[in-house]
C-alpha cells in the first residue's frame, strides 16, 4: 500500500473523483484531509484547464487536498491516468493531516504521501494565479475539460 495526496481533479467532488471509487481500478481508501507542509504554487493552465502543482516550494499556499492509501493496482492506474512520467511527475511530500477520517482531530500529524506535480514547466506558468483549494467550478471560471471531452 502507498499513500497518495490528491489536490486537483481527483479530490472528492471534482471531475475525476469517480476513478478513486471505481473498484475496477483498484483500491483507494480515504484517510482524511490534509495540506502540504510546504507552500507550493497550484496553477490552472492550457486548453483543458488542467491544475498543476509546480515544483517551486516556498511559493504560493499550503495546498489543501485529500489523503488516500492505495493498492498497487490503483497506483498503477493513477500513474497512467496522470500521464506519469511525462505529463505529471510523482514525488513524496510531507503532508500535514487536517482531519483523520472517522477520528476527528489530527493534532500535529505529518505523513509522507505521493503527489502528482510538475517538475519542470514553462517559466510563464509561475505568473498565473495560484489556487489553494482547487475547485473546477470555482470563481476563476476555468472549468476542467474531461479527457473524454477533448479534441
Q: What share of the chain is helix, strand, coil (3-state, %, to 5)?
A: 15, 40, 45
Q: Which is nearer to ligand PCA, 7 or 77 (CB)?
A: 7
For strand 2-6 and strand 28-40, is the pairing parallel, antiparallel, or unpaired? unpaired
Within residues 92-151, the interface with ligand PCA by CB under 6 A covers 116
Binding of residue 34 to ligand PCA (CB under 6 A): no
Exactly one of 38, 80, 82, 112 is catalytic; name it.
Answer: 82
> 125 CB contacts (<8 Å, ≥6 apart)?
43, 45, 52, 54, 118
Q: Which is nearer to ligand PCA, 27 or 49 (CB)?
A: 49
Task: Give the one residue of 2, 3, 8, 140 binding ligand PCA; rule: CB under 6 A.
Answer: 8
Q: Is 82 assigned a catalytic role?
A: yes
Joined grid coordinates for residue 52: 498543476
CB of 102 to ligand PCA, least distance (A): 22
Amino acid at each position: 500500500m502507498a499513500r497518495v495526496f490528491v489536490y486537483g481533479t481527483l479530490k472528492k467532488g471534482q471531475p475525476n473523483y469517480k476513478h478513486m471509487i471505481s473498484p475496477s481500478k483498484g483500491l483507494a481508501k480515504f484517510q482524511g484531509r490534509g495540506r502540504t507542509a510546504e507552500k507550493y504554487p497550484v496553477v490552472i493552465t492550457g486548453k483543458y484547464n488542467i491544475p498543476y502543482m509546480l515544483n517551486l516550494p516556498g511559493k504560493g499556499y499550503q495546498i489543501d487536498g485529500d489523503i488516500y492509501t492505495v493498492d498497487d493496482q490503483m497506483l498503477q492506474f493513477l500513474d497512467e491516468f496522470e500521464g506519469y512520467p511525462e505529463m505529471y511527475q510523482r514525488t513524496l511530500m510531507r503532508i500535514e493531516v487536517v482531519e483523520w477520517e472517522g477520528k476527528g482531530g489530527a493534532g500535529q500529524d505529518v505523513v509522507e504521501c505521493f503527489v502528482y506535480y510538475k517538475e519542470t514547466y514553462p517559466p510563464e506558468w509561475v505568473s498565473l494565479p495560484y489556487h489553494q483549494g482547487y475547485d473546477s467550478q470555482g470563481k476563476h471560471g476555468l472549468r476542467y475539460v474531461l479527457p473524454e471531452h477533448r479534441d
